[in-house]
């Protein structure tokens, strides 16, 4: 069983909470997800026993959102950094494209 909770605000089209219930494990899973290139990616997860009050659920949802947003900011920073990085060279190593045949004995 699964439910989707949309988050109101400026990012409402790209962030959500997915809640799933596994009756065999007697657990509720809350996933904080961001939509990146039309794919929902999990950025945070909280697992709780199936016995839960509405107040506890609201606290868990706030926690999963806070963690998701923190991790998404770091994802954006990494993505920007790696998009600038095009090529690296390691000193003392042959770079891709060097003539490998020179090393053949």
Residue 97 lies in a domain: no
| Whether pLDDT at 105 is above 50 | no
Asked whether the beta carbons of 27 and 17 are under 8 A apart, the reply is no
**Residue 9 domain flag:** yes
**Any domain includes 99:** no
Who contacts 103 (Cβ-Cβ below 8 Å, separation ≥6)?
Answer: 94
The predicted pLDDT at position 93 comes to: 62
Instruction: Check pLDDT > 60 for residue 80.
Output: yes
Does the residue 6 lie in any domain?
A: yes
Task: Tally Cβ neighbours within 10 Å of residue 83.
Answer: 8
If you average pLDDT over residues 48-54, what whole number do you get?
95
* Counted domains in the chain: 1
Indicate whether this model's pTM tops 0.85: no
pLDDT band (50, 70, 90) for residue 28: very high
**Mean confidence (pLDDT) of the chain:** 87
Domain that holds residue 40: 2-88
* Domain-located, residue 77: yes
Q: Does some domain include residue 65?
A: yes
Tell me the mean pLDDT in the region 23-50. Answer: 96
């Amino acid at each position: 069983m699964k439910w989707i909770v949309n988050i109101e605000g400026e990012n409402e089209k790209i962030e959500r909470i997915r809640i799933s219930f596994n009756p065999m494990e007697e657990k509720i899973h809350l996933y904080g997800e961001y939509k990146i290139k039309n794919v929902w990616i999990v950025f945070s997860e909280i697992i709780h026993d199936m016995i839960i009050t509405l107040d506890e659920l609201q606290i868990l949802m706030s926690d999963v959102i806070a963690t998701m947003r923190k991790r998404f900011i770091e994802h954006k920073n990494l993505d920007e950094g790696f998009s600038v990085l095009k090529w690296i060279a390691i000193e003392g190593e042959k770079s891709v494209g060097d003539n490998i045949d020179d090393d053949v004995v």
